[in-house]
Amino acid sequence: MTSTLTVGVEEEFFLVDRMTRRAVPRAPEVLAWGRDMLGDRLHPEFLRTQVEAASRPASTLAALLRDLVGMRRGAAAAAAFADCRIAAGGTAVLPGSRPVPLTAGRRYRRMAERFAALVADLGDGVCGCHVHVGIPDREEAVRVANHLRPWLPTVHALTANSPFRDGGDSGYAAWRMVRWAQWPTVAPTPAFADAAAYDHAVDALVDSDTLLDRGMVYWYARLSERYPTLEIRVADTSSDVAITVLTAALIRGLCAALLDDVRADRAAPAVPDELLRAAHWRAARDGLTGKGVDPATGQLVPARRLARALLLRARPGLLASGDFDTTAGLLRAVLRHGDGALRQRVAYRRHRSPQDVVDMLATQSEAGSALADPRFAGLLGRPLEAPPVRVARVVPQTAE
């Protein structure tokens, strides 16, 4: 088994007004306040209703957890100075005023001019969680991305956390990806023979004026243009930091196991692009509560079964880093609680209040007591015991 790979996480957050709970364009103020606390690790996003926080590369899950908690606390404190809160979810629950102002900058202006109505269709934006795994060799990173393709729909389902749009239920667990998929290259990563083929395809997209630059490659797994990493981009941002840690652990463990396959010159599974697109659509529709497409057979199976299969496929990498027991415990907890989309729907159904959903997301996102959460005990030197939680079954309701 390969040596432990580094892992880093970028989390995008909505900014919501304390009183109305609607998305508000206060990113410039939040970034100004956050500079002293987080420095350049708190970034602007395309729209002023969002900010992004970036962790440092970590070799252990414990280090990643502490960094994520510190990052969220800093972002939450900066938002408080700007009289708003951070809220982690793939889409804003309650819309803000229209049009949403863009972040200042020539590149963002060019994107708005080039893609026109697509910008308006984003509403208040979409927020994703991007996991970077340190694979400095570009040839190996491209081949690992080929092996990852059949597993990413399950990561997509596991992290579903965007059921609401404009105050109503979209009928999807991860509406973010459905909305975001209108943009060029938001799709499963094509299978490439090598890094040269990858670079040729990206250059062709830029030369054809489809993309402004190489930073606009939005495939679900891509070679980072800034870091020596493979970046996985399918997850909704989760308000529950435990799901963020679980996602990072599974992706790093999976990449480590697949990197060994690459170095042993084992061929990547041949999965048709249309089947992968169907698997991602189903993941966006059902999350963990329904069924998913098994890329090996094309058959519908319970999404929870696919999640357990993902854990087992990542097991060699998780064992090598000493993270298997912790990751298995975190996954058991998610299967008991339900995914983020189900939790949002449960919060809504208590009083049929979207404001309650925003309050839940904001409170969880602030992560004030996350290090005392019993789910993280295994990372802090004590046996991890996932607290038993029962969640009533909720039937998704489509917006009228």
* Secondary structure of residue 156 in the 3-state scheme: helix
| CATH 3.30.590.20 describes domain 7-380 | yes
Picking from 243, 88, 51, the residue whose alpha carbon sits closest to that of residue 162 is 88
**pLDDT at position 141 over 90:** yes
In whole angstroms, give the CA distance from residue 39 to residue 47.
20
What DSSP assignment string belongs to 230-280?
A: EEEEEEEP-SSHHHHHHHHHHHHHHHHHHHHHHHTTPPPP---HHHHHHHH
pLDDT of residue 398: 33
Going by pLDDT thresholds of 50, 70 and 90, the confidence category of residue 3 is: low
Q: Nearest Cα to 45, choosing from 109, 95, 94, 103?
A: 103
Q: What is the pLDDT of residue 67?
A: 96
pLDDT bin (cut points 50, 70, 90) of residue 400 is very low
Give 222's contacts (C-beta < 8 A, 6+ positions apart): 145, 189, 230, 231, 233
Contact between residue 323 and residue 247 where contact means Cβ atoms under 8 Å apart: no
Using alpha carbons only, give the angle 244, 248, 251 rounded to the nearest 5 degrees: 135
Rounded distance, CA 194 to CA 44, Å?
A: 33
pLDDT in tens, 237-256: 999 999 999 999 999 999 99
pLDDT at 381 over 90: no
Are residues 237 and 90 in contact, defined by beta-carbon separation less than 8 angstroms? yes
User: What are residue 222's DSSP bridge partners?
Assistant: 231
Please state, for a pLDDT cut of 70, what percent of the chain lies above it.
94
User: What value does the mean pLDDT take over residues 139-163?
Assistant: 98
Confidence label for 372 from pLDDT (cuts 50, 70 and 90): confident
Do 302 and 287 form a contact (C-beta atoms < 8 A)?
no
Q: Which of 216, 164, 221 is nearest to 188 (CA)?
A: 221
The strand pair at 229-236 and 221-223 is best described as antiparallel
Q: How far apart are CA 259 and CA 265, in angstroms?
A: 10
pLDDT at 4: 82
- pTM score of the predicted model: 0.94
Average pLDDT, the chain: 92
